[in-house]
């Protein structure tokens, strides 16, 4: 019999039972955090809340929020809920300083994370008959390891390609007759173009794709579906909550079911912190109710979205989140990598440049372009061209080691970047990501 990883007893559980399960797990999780994470306990004490005040999900709002700043303050071990010897893995986001996120996992955490990813694969029709090509990055990034583990659980033949090397990627896809592709939507679109250009469409047996880690529009979905001859599904997650698989699309392709047996989702007003009713747009906040090593309570994702619990044609009862509709901070996601303007500024200042710069991001043929214009000082401006080119190269290298991706740096004449009367316009993002 074909092996699937659909867990109907959980995924189609009546809503009142899901809520009861969440309440029970929340109470346990709050005790676990109170006893094992002094950093969060102090935050609770500051707010005058003890575990006795949390009797179920209706009390969730009493707990303090956690933010990326807390992660930075507590870096690296300050939010650990288990002794290090029980942890078996870390994963991390890019960035060598400041905004880097390091998440920890026990073996049990990895197991549950892989369950979530397995559900996502099953939701697009995956079974142990499938060949899953994982073209997300492997290593510290959660995309490759997460989908890899999920694919194993479903019993698929797993092809751990990682991203890049498109020639080889497409060759394997044809030779092994891969049926499900997992990668960022931009890379999927790029692979689609490559296949079209080389006239290889007939050699490809893909039927579905699981694409996430960055924003993508419905137009992009149609484009990818058309070029690869597949159905393209969205998947969402963040390093702080384990990685991909927090939420995933089903056959309805109308939003992503959140794995509610592991995460409680709330939408808040990002300015006041007030919890908003279902259906309103606001900042997504997650509480992980099963994680042992890195059990974040009320973590503010900064992703803006809408939740809805209307019945879904697939039969799953877990609440659905819309595609992220924007962010409440200034983080950019370029080629799948999280980039903060402040990281760029740090590099430029360390390299002796002026603080006058502008970041220009665009999407050309479904690929992100990333340019940084930086004003030279008057003194540098009068240097010879060779010296200026050399400095540009040096900046490209320093930025790459900070961000993990390559930018094009253009040193421009002093005072050539338009000054604004209010806040400087540091970022011009021409991509239409949330259309
Ligand atoms: O991007 C985890 C992931 C890997 C998700 C593979 C899906 C597939 P981070 O690098 O920590 O983790 O980035 C998390 O990426 O807060 C969102 O802003 C954005 N993001 C993730 N998935 C989506 C999506 C991974 N489907 C940040 N649509 C999140 C839009 C997404 N944005």
DSSP for 6-74, written as a single string: --HHHHT--HHHHHHHHHHHHHHHHHHHHHH-HHHHHHHHHHT--GGG--SGGGGGGSPPB-HHHHHHT
Question: Which is the closest atom of ligand 1 to the Cα of 331?
Answer: 18
From 47-51, 70-74, 416-420, the region with the lowest mean pLDDT: 416-420
What's the rounded mean pLDDT across residues 10-23? 97
Instruction: Name residue, tokens 């220009």.
Output: 360
pLDDT for the residue numbered 421: 62
What's the rounded mean pLDDT across residues 78-96? 91
pLDDT for the residue numbered 304: 94
pLDDT for the residue numbered 51: 98
Residue 6 has pLDDT above 80, yes or no: no
Q: Express each pLDDT in 54-83 by its tens digit.
A: 999 999 999 999 999 999 999 999 999 999
Question: Is any ligand 1 atom within 6 A of the Cβ of residue 215?
Answer: yes
Question: Is any ligand 1 atom within 6 A of the Cβ of residue 178?
Answer: no
pLDDT for the residue numbered 299: 98
Parallel, antiparallel or unpaired: strands 231-238 and 208-212: parallel
Q: Express each pLDDT in 293-347 by its tens digit.
A: 999 999 999 999 999 999 999 999 999 999 998 888 888 999 888 898 888 988 9
Q: Express each pLDDT in 254-294 by its tens digit.
A: 999 999 999 999 999 999 999 999 999 999 999 999 999 99
pLDDT for the residue numbered 87: 98
Q: Express each pLDDT in 378-410 by its tens digit.
A: 889 988 899 999 999 999 999 999 898 999 999
Q: List the residue whose alpha carbon is closest to atom 27 of ligand 1.
A: 238
Read off the pLDDT band of 4 (50, 70, 90): low
Tell which one of 139, 150, 212, 337 to mutate to probe ligand 1, the residue whose CB is within 8 A of the most ligand atoms: 212
Residue 17 has pLDDT above 60, yes or no: yes
The alpha carbon of 296 and the centre of ligand 1 are apart by a number of angstroms equal to 17
Handedness of CA 174, 178, 181, 183 (dihedral sign): negative
The alpha carbon of 238 and the centre of ligand 1 are apart by a number of angstroms equal to 5
What's the rounded mean pLDDT across residues 168-182? 98
Q: Express each pLDDT in 112-144 by its tens digit.
A: 999 999 999 999 999 999 999 999 999 999 999
Residues 6 or more apart in contact with residue 23 via CB below 8 angstroms: 55, 56, 57, 58
Question: Is any ligand 1 atom within 6 A of the Cβ of residue 137?
Answer: no
The alpha carbon of 236 and the centre of ligand 1 are apart by a number of angstroms equal to 5
Question: Is any ligand 1 atom within 6 A of the Cβ of residue 185?
Answer: no
Read off the pLDDT band of 192 (50, 70, 90): very high
Helix (H) or strand (E) holding 109: helix 107-123
Q: List the residue whose alpha carbon is closest to atom 30 of ligand 1.
A: 215
- Which residue did the predictor score with more confidence, 408 or 418? 408
Read off the pLDDT band of 186 (50, 70, 90): confident
The alpha carbon of 46 and the centre of ligand 1 are apart by a number of angstroms equal to 31
Tell which one of 141, 148, 237, 335 to mutate to probe ligand 1, the residue whose CB is within 8 A of the most ligand atoms: 237
pLDDT for the residue numbered 341: 87
Question: Is any ligand 1 atom within 6 A of the Cβ of residue 234?
Answer: yes
Read off the pLDDT band of 174 (50, 70, 90): very high
Residue 246 Ramachandran class (φ > 0 left, ψ -120 to 50 alpha, else beta)? alpha
């Amino acid at each position: 019999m074909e092996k699937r990883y659909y867990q109907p007893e959980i995924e189609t559980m009546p809503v009142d039972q899901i809520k009861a399960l969440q309440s029970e797990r929340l109470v346990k999780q709050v005790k676990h955090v109170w006893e094992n994470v002094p950093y969060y306990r102090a935050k609770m004490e500051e707010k005058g809340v003890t575990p006795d005040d949390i009797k179920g999900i209706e009390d969730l709002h009493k707990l303090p929020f956690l933010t990326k700043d807390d992660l930075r303050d507590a870096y690296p071990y300050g939010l650990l809920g288990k002794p290090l010897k029980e942890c078996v893995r870390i994963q991390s986001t890019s960035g060598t300083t400041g905004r880097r996120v390091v998440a920890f996992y026990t073996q049990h955490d990895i197991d549950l994370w892989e369950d979530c990813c397995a559900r996502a694969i099953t939701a697009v029709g995956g079974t142990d008959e499938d060949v899953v090509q994982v073209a997300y990055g492997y290593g510290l990034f959660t995309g490759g390891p997460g989908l890899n583990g999920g694919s194993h659980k479903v019993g698929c033949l797993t092809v751990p390609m990682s991203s890049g090397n498109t020639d080889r990627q497409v060759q394997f896809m044809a030779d092994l007759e891969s049926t499900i592709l997992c990668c960022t939507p931009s890379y999927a679109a790029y692979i689609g173009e490559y296949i079209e250009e080389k006239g290889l469409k007939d050699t490809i047996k893909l039927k579905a794709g699981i694409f996430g880690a960055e924003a993508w529009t419905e137009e992009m979905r149609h484009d990818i579906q058309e070029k690869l001859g597949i159905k393209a599904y969205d998947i969402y997650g963040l390093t702080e909550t384990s990685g991909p698989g927090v939420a995933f699309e089903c056959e309805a392709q109308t939003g992503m079911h959140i794995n509610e047996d592991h995460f409680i989702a709330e939408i808040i007003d990002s300015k006041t912190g007030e919890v908003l009713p279902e259906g309103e747009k606001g900042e997504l906040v997650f509480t992980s109710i099963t994680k042992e090593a890195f059990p974040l309570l009320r973590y503010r994702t900064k992703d803006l979205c809408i939740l809805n619990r209307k019945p879904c044609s697939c039969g799953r009862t877990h609440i659905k989140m819309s595609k992220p509709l924007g962010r409440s901070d200034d983080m950019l996601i370029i080629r799948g990598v999280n980039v903060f303007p402040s990281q760029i500024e740090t590099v430029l200042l360390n390299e002796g440049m002026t603080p006058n710069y502008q970041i220009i991001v665009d999407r050309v043929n479904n690929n992100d372009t990333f340019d940084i214009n930086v004003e030279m000082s008057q003194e540098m401006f009068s240097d010879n061209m060779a010296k200026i080119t050399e400095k540009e190269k040096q900046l490209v290298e320093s930025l790459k080691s900070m961000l993990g991706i390559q930018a094009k740096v253009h040193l421009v004449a002093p005072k050539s970047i338009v000054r604004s009367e209010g806040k400087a316009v540091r970022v011009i993002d021409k991509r239409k990501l949330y259309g």
